[in-house]
Amino acid sequence: MAKLDASVQELLQGKNFAFVSTVSADGSPHVTPTWVDTDGDYVLISTGLGTVKQKNAKRDPRVTIAITEQANPYNLVIIRGQVVEQISGSSATDLLDKLTKRYMGMDRFPDRQLASTQVTLKIKPVRVYTRKM
């Protein structure tokens, strides 16, 4: 498992969008912009149950995540990893609410029905590439 150093964790915990690539059934990449977080060791992505991203990650856990700093897009991190767990229930809703606060300034995700179907993708980083300018 690759280590997420302090500068990478800062980028993951900032108001920066991540582009997550999963592998489709036909082998082609599927890329989506998303909110992102970390627990210090793993990358955490909130997604809906039944989305293409969630189903792809269940079938093939390999993912690549690209994140650029919003204030300076030349500062970037690319993480290759594996989804090691898909977490549902209150933990997934809690992460969505935390991310909603960060990205939207609201205390909780406004659509509670949709929030109840969220899944957290827990991603083990295998390789981390950083560039700062």
Region 114-131 average pLDDT: 92
Please check the confidence at residue 76 and state whether its pLDDT lies above 80.
Answer: yes
Domains of the chain, with CATH numbers? 6-131 (2.30.110.10)
- What secondary structure, in 3-state letters, does 7-60 show? HHHHHHCCCCCEEEEEECCCCCEEEEEECEEECCCCEEEEEECCCHHHHHHHHC
CB-CB contact of 46 with 35 (8 Å): yes
Q: Which long-range contacts (CB under 8 A, 24 or more apart) does 9-13 make?
A: 9/38, 9/40, 11/67, 11/69, 11/75, 11/77, 12/36, 12/37, 12/38, 12/43, 12/67, 12/77, 13/37, 13/38
pTM over 0.75: yes
**Given a cut of 80, is residue 112 above it in pLDDT?**
no
Strands in 43-48's sheet, in edge-to-edge order, are: 29-34, 18-23, 62-68, 76-87, 118-131, 43-48, 36-38
Residue 97 has phi, psi (to 5 degrees) of -65, -40
Cross-strand partners of 77:
67, 130
* Whole-number pLDDT of residue 99: 96
Percent of the chain with pLDDT over 70: 100
User: Looking at residue 117, what is its pLDDT?
Assistant: 84
* 17 pLDDT higher than 80: yes
- Confidence (pLDDT) at 4: 97
Distances (CA, A) of 133 to 12, 79, 127: 17, 18, 20
